[in-house]
Each structure stands twice: as C-alpha cells, then as structure tokens.
Structure 1
Amino acid sequence: MARDSHSHRVIQAVAQICRPTRSKNLDRSRQQRGEELLDDYFVHNSAFLDTYFKRRFRMERHLFNKIMIAVCNHDSYFVQKKDACGVMGLFPKQKITVALRMLGYGASADQVDEIAMMGKSTILESLMRFCGVIESIYTA
C-alpha cells in the first residue's frame, strides 16, 4: 500500500512539472480603451466625424447601431456585465468592432488586439459569436 501511494505521489509530481504554465494576464486597460473607442466614434461630438466612421467601419453609424442592438438582443454575450470580481466587462461596441475589423479588413486577432486591447481568445470568441448571430438573425 505504501508503494502505491509513493507511485501516486511521483505521478502527481511529474504531472505538476509537465503541466504547461499559464502566462500572466496583461493589464490591457480594457475599460479605458472602451471609453476611448466610445469617445472617438460613438458619442455626440465624437473625435472623428461621420466620414471617418464610414471609412473605418465601412458602414454608416446608424447601421452599426442597428446591427449592435439586434446582436445584443439575440445573444447576451455582447451585453456589458460585471465579472466574478465585480469589474465591468467589455462594451458591446468593443466586441462588435473587433469582429467587424477582422471581417472588413482581414485583420488577425493580434492586429485587432492593438486597437481594442482585448485578449486573443476574447477576440476570436467575439468573432465566432458575431458570425453565428448575424447568420441566425439575417438568414431567416
């Protein structure tokens, strides 16, 4: 019996050593970048005029807002909510912006990360969910 517990401990120790370590979370200042995105494009008297919005998003602002409302009503993933620590999550406009930038410009997740300050996994999940929601809303 002592032999079994020793081998069990050895296996656990080896598994602990071989387990890939998770990289440290980066402080992306996501809330600040989300507010900057809103100030740049979405608030009244924004930093960029409608012509810039149309050029960068490849659509009119009212169309973006219509799509955003439809997407948020269809999938609660895009609605801003608090996480387990009580910290506010990403704005819906951040998640939709990264999906549109990837689709519109063929940008990679790393390129979009520099714009939106979101993690790669969040960017990819936003893209996949956005495509699924758009398909289910507009193919009916």
Structure 2
Amino acid sequence: MRREDEECDEEVQVRRNKKSIAVAMMCQPIEEQPQWGSFIAGRSYKPRNKAMSHANLMNNYFNPNSVYTEEDFRRRFRMRHHFFERLLRDVQQVNSYFRQKLDRAGRPGFSPHQKVTIALRMMAYGSPADSMDETHGMPESTCLDTIQKFCDTIVQVHKDEYLCEPNQEDLNRLLRKAEDHGFPGMIGSLDCMHWDWKNCLTGWQEGFSGRSRKPTVVLEEVASYDT
C-alpha cells in the first residue's frame, strides 16, 4: 500500500513539474525575428554579384556607345539622361546613403547608379520590390529602404523650389506666358488620366470601374507651360 502511495505521489510530482515547465515557457518573452536585414535561421544566403550588376547597368545606359539609345533611356526612366545625372548628383550631396560604401564583408556595396535606377524603376513601372532582386540583384528589403530614402531626399532637396506656393511674381510670369499663347487669364492647364488600380479591394471594384470595366483612379494635375 505504501509503495502504491509513493508511485502515486511521484506521478503527481511529475505532472506538477511538467505544468511548471509549460507555464514558465509561456511566460518567457518571445524574441522577435527581424523582418529585414539580419540573418534568420533557416533562410538561405543568396550570393549577389553587385559589381556585375553595376557593370551591366552602366554598359546598357551610361557608358559611351551604350546598348540602349537616348530614346530608350527616356522611355524607360521617364526622364532624359541629363536630368537623371542631376538627380544622382543632388541625392549624393545631401544623403550619404547614395554614396557607395563597403558592406560587412569589406566589398563594395550597391553603386549610386544602381540605387537611383531601382528607385526610379519602381516608381515609373509600379514594380514590386522583390522583382528588382531578379533583374538588378538588390534584395527586397534594400529596395524598400532605397525608394523611401530617395523620396525623402528629393523632397528635402527640391521642396523650396517645387513644393512652395506661387508668389505674385510667379503668377505674373505665368499669366504673361499664357497670354502670349492666346490664353489670357490662364495660369495653367488641367489634364487628367485614368490609372489602372490593380490592387483595388474587391468590395470597391464596382464603384471604381467605368467603361473599361477595370478599377481605375482618376489623376488630375494643373501644370504650367514649363513643367
């Protein structure tokens, strides 16, 4: 009888120990895995040849006798070559992120041309960040950082000139220019376009669909003659 009681006490103690261990594990803080950047167990390392990607980009668009013409550059970058060079120079002067640095392995990181190109391509084509990894060899997390830093830097550099309200001198200049073209009293022209909204919520698609039967967003802009 005593032996049965001892076995029963041992079984109760084992159950208590298991319960204590489970409660302790539940109460321990869970270490959050970083979403981007740091190494995570189970995630494979992807070797990327940044130097080769940079050389291909330069050979395609920026070197003398490049593969693609100036017309190709303007269509794909949505701007002329000299304007790209101006943006490249401005962002490097203001934000050190766009200057080439060494990575943790001591090798050259992504070049300024690569970073600005990827930011412009994502905006011009609406390309997702992970597609840049396949075409330009830049990880998704780096692409997202790049486009955010690019937009913040452009606003910082050009807000005083392009994001300010027009003063009286500007209005007089625009009125004179419009009058010379036969439009007295006009300071700008209105234009609009329908932009396909491919990520429109299902419940909203009917309200945003017109004759094309696809959800679209109407973008309107008032522009002066020099923009």
Match of 2:52 among 26, 32, 35: 32
Match of 1:61 among 77, 81, 85: 81
Instruction: Compute the displacement of 1:108 (Å).
Output: 0.4
Whole-Å separation in 2 of the counterparts to 1:57 and 1:75: 21
**5+ unaligned residues in a row in structure 1: which ranges?**
1-6
Counterpart for residue 139 of structure 1: 159
Relative distance call for 1:72 and 1:22 in structure 2 (3 A) is farther
Whole-Å separation in 2 of the counterparts to 1:111 and 1:85: 25
Normalised by the length of structure 1, the TM-score is 0.83
Give identity over the alignment, percent: 34
1:98 is matched by which residue type in structure 2?
I
Max radius of gyration: which structure? 2
Whole-Å separation in 2 of the counterparts to 1:61 and 1:102: 18
Counterpart for residue 123 of structure 1: 143
Normalised by the length of structure 2, the TM-score is 0.53
Output one character per residue of 1:102-136: Cα deviation in whole Å (capped at 9) or x when no partner.
11111100222222110001000000000000111
Give 4+ residue runs of structure 1 displaced > 4 Å after superposition.
none
Contact 2:132 2:139 (8 Å CA) reproduced = no
Relative distance call for 1:85 and 1:48 in structure 2 (3 A) is same
1:95 is matched by which residue type in structure 2?
K
Counterpart for residue 95 of structure 1: 115
**5+ unaligned residues in a row in structure 2: which ranges?**
1-20, 34-39, 161-227
Whole-Å separation in 2 of the counterparts to 1:110 and 1:119: 7
Whole-Å separation in 1 of the counterparts to 2:132 and 2:111: 15
Name the one with the larger helix percent. 1
Instruction: Identify the structure with bigger relative contact order (alpha carbons < 8 Å, sequence gap 6+).
Output: 1
Output one character per residue of 1:33-57: Cα deviation in whole Å (capped at 9) or x when no partner.
1110011001111111111111110
**RMSD of aligned C-alpha atoms?**
2.2
What count of residue pairs does the alignment treat as equivalent?
Answer: 129
Instruction: Compute the displacement of 1:21 (Å).
Output: 2.2
1:85 is matched by which residue type in structure 2?
A
Match of 1:105 among 122, 125, 149: 125
Tell whether 2:72 aligns with 1:48.
Answer: no
Relative distance call for 1:22 and 1:126 in structure 2 (3 A) is farther
Whole-Å separation in 2 of the counterparts to 1:111 and 1:61: 24
Whole-Å separation in 2 of the counterparts to 1:58 and 1:22: 40
Name the one with the larger strand percent. 2
